Amino acid sequence: MDFTLNAYYTLISAVIILLIGQYLVKKIRFLQDFNIPEPVAGGLVAAIILFAIHALTGYQFNFHKELQTAFMLIFFASIGLSANFAKLKAGGTGLVIFLVIIAVFILVQDVVGIGLAAALGLDPLIGLIAGSITLVGGHGTAGAWGQVMEQKYGIQGAVTLGIACATFGLVIGGLIGGPLARSLIARHHLHLPAPQANNNLPVAKNSDVLNFEQPQKERLITATTAVETLALFAACLAFADYMTIIAKGTAFELPTFVWALGGGVIIRNALEYIFRVEMFDRAIDVFGSASLSLFLAMALLSLKLWELAGLAAPLMVILAAQTVVMALYAYFITFYGMGRDYDAAVLAAGHCGFGMGATPTAVANMQAITNKYGPSHKAFLIVPMVGAFFIDLINAGVIQVFIKLIG
């Protein structure tokens, strides 16, 4: 029997999950030491409880998908609204190097998936589904390409398979990023910025931190700036909805969240450089960080562990191998390639987040590290831009090439 919760109860459930996650991380030393994000900690508990209920009674709970999507779009819009041209320029050489590292990783991920699928007697396209389509691409890309795989290439159940793989990656990406960065910091005796107690953080000025950095830090906002910022988010979401509709079936067809991010970039820079309007980064940061946490909580609430448990053993072998490859690549390539310093360790944690899951997971991973060890402006400048925008463009091109080669 299925129970579907409407938007109100879905929101209530997500908030409860976040409160549980905060309590667990505060009370359990293991979660603190390994820098597990609060939404992941609380979400996994909820997923296990829902799995037990399903196993014992057959009951299944469904949550409001549109609300989850809305918070995801708000998060990506907040990235766009934070990306003025000055920040893009400030990314400099580090941004280019990180982009190259990520592009190579996408190729590696797909080669591993396709190669293992062929070795295990599966259709190579299934290996591509268990590769960058779902792991780098996330749920949106998994759903879109899953339909293509079913209709054009005859891969039965490709959508369900893709969603399951994307969900696996979302969880694993949130679990391995923190421990990996912690290991790098300890092994290389990296210089750590002085940590600050969460309950004694100074009030941030507009230029103190980058968006999504140090989410526990106070931001001074007013009702007026909050309303004006909400209007900006509404404009981004309306732009994303409109562009998704008119670009469908054309060469410019992109996931809706990419249009939300792009709309944010356009609106931000047009208002700032053409109309000389002051942007309220503090309010954008607050709404973006809150949306990030709520999106992750809802995504994990929707995790159906029985679907993952029902995956064929060969597919689980591929996903396990992808996890190992991700960890090794982030540890030895991302970290060393980005300079072997504290910023590089935080970037490695972020790479685990969107390399296996999604950009919100990457940001949550970095927040977990920087909350404990101190800020990393470089990481919070580079990862949101690469993980939310550039990576999807590169991934789309790589997927097209591999499909032509093996399809």
Tokens of 360: 């919100």
- Summarize pLDDT for 178-187 with one digit per residue, the tens: 999 999 999 9
Mean pLDDT of 176-196: 83
Q: What pLDDT score does 192 carry? A: 60
Every domain of the chain and the residues it spans: 2-191+208-406
**b/e map of 32-59 (b: 16 or more CB within 10 Å)?**
bebbbbbbbbbbbebbeebbeeeeeeee
DSSP 8-state class, residue 390 = I
CA distance 131 to 94: 26
Tokens of 153: 């290439």
CA distance 164 to 133: 12
Q: What pLDDT score does 90 carry? A: 67
From the options 1.10.20, 1.20.1690, 1.20.1530, 3.40.50, give the CATH code of 2-191+208-406. 1.20.1530
Cα angle at 243 between 163 and 290, to 5 degrees? Answer: 60
Q: Taking the model in full, what pTM does it have?
A: 0.75
Cα angle at 206 between 204 and 211, to 5 degrees? Answer: 85
CA distance 250 to 252: 5
- Summarize pLDDT for 323-342 with one digit per residue, the tens: 999 999 999 999 999 999 99
Report the mean per-residue pLDDT for the chain.
Answer: 86
Q: Which stretch of 39-43, 53-57, 81-85, 322-326 has the lowest confidence by average pLDDT? A: 81-85
Q: How far is CA 361 from CA 157, 225, 293, in A?
A: 26, 27, 9
Question: Is the pLDDT confidence value at 87 over 80?
Answer: no
Q: Which of 49-63, 70-84, 143-157 has the highest mean pLDDT?
A: 49-63
Question: Is the pLDDT confidence value at 140 over 70?
Answer: no
Cα angle at 364 between 358 and 367, to 5 degrees? Answer: 145
Question: Is the pLDDT confidence value at 378 over 90?
Answer: no
Please name every residue paired with 62 in a beta bridge, in sequence order, or none if there are none: 4
Question: Is the pLDDT confidence value at 131 over 60?
Answer: yes
> Phi and psi dihedrals of 219, rounded to 5?
-120, 130
CA distance 315 to 311: 7
Q: Which residue has the tokens 């820098």?
A: 35
> Phi and psi dihedrals of 2, rounded to 5?
-100, 140
Question: Is the pLDDT confidence value at 33 over 80?
Answer: no
Mean pLDDT of 226-249: 95
Dihedral sign, CA of 26, 28, 31, 34? positive
Tokens of 32: 């603190």
CB 48 within 8 A of CB 305: yes
Question: Is the pLDDT confidence value at 98 over 70?
Answer: yes
Q: What pLDDT score does 214 carry? A: 66
**What length does the chain have?**
407
CB atoms under 10 Å from CB of 153, counted, come to 13
Q: What pLDDT score does 198 carry? A: 42
Residue from 91, 162, 43 nearest 343 by CA: 91
Q: What pLDDT score does 35 carry? A: 66
Residue from 381, 360, 260 nearest 300 by CA: 360
Q: What pLDDT score does 388 carry? A: 66
pLDDT category of residue 308 using cuts at 50, 70 and 90: low
CB 170 within 8 A of CB 299: yes
Q: How far is CA 58 from CA 1, 55, 279, in A?
A: 6, 6, 50
CB 83 within 8 A of CB 265: yes
Question: Is the pLDDT confidence value at 117 over 80?
Answer: yes
